[in-house]
Amino acid sequence: MNMKNTILILIVAAVAVAAGSWFSSSQKTAQEEAVEAARAKFASVQGNILSPPRKIAVPELVKHDGTAFNGKDLQGQWSILFFGFTNCHMICPTGMSMLAQAKKLAEDQKVDFPQVYLVSVDPERDDPGTMKKFVSGFDKDFIGVTGDPESIKALSLQMSVIYMRAQPEKSDESGKSSGEKDSADNYQIDHSAAMLLINPQGSLTAFLNAPHTPERILKDIKVVSEK
């Protein structure tokens, strides 16, 4: 082999090595981009996704328009159940406001938003009329649900939702607790701030946990519904 052929072979080999290195580099970049895209799409929600989704038996309750609420209402579309009550000082107004703003974001992006139901954990005070006035103050399409206390308890247990009446102590003029209780109607209820995402088959699919923001709610809904 003469010198000329040797130099030519070395040049070809060098070009081949360089081309292989470039191809490997471009492939690695493409793979990294694919991984990043997958991570962005399937990022964990602020809460828990149930796999498989949990089937629930919905006892018959009452919507704020006086009609029956049952499992059929959760069929055919995504839904969000939020357990709360109209006399709630902070968690419920904040959560409902976040949901209303998240729905507005969805409308701006021209994407569907789940049907929102506020299920009362205080049916003794939350009759259908009271529920209607409360939920419609956030969005005309939100639906309030109330009914028999035992039926609400049965539904909440299936949803892993815990709530408990918190009777405040009455304070005297000095601001010290007198140890006496306020009137029977003056009480708050401790309850979960989680939003429960229900799939179109009526099964519990995810818990969306607080603290909530409109952007986070909408993002998490998209993540879960696209899986």
Alpha helix stretches (DSSP H) within 42-165 = 91-108, 128-136, 149-158
Please check the confidence at residue 43 and state whether its pLDDT lies above 70.
Answer: no
Q: What is the per-residue pLDDT for 38? A: 47
pLDDT digits (tens, 9 = 90+) for 122-136: 999 999 999 999 999
Integer CA distances (angstroms), 28 to 20, 34, 43, 104, in order:
12, 10, 22, 40
Dihedral pair phi/psi, residue 117, rounded to 5°: -125, 125
The pTM score is 0.76
Q: What is the per-residue pLDDT for 12? A: 46
pLDDT band with cut points at 50, 70 and 90 for residue 185? confident
Please check the confidence at residue 9 and state whether its pLDDT lies above 80.
Answer: no
* Cross-strand bridge partners of residue 171: 177
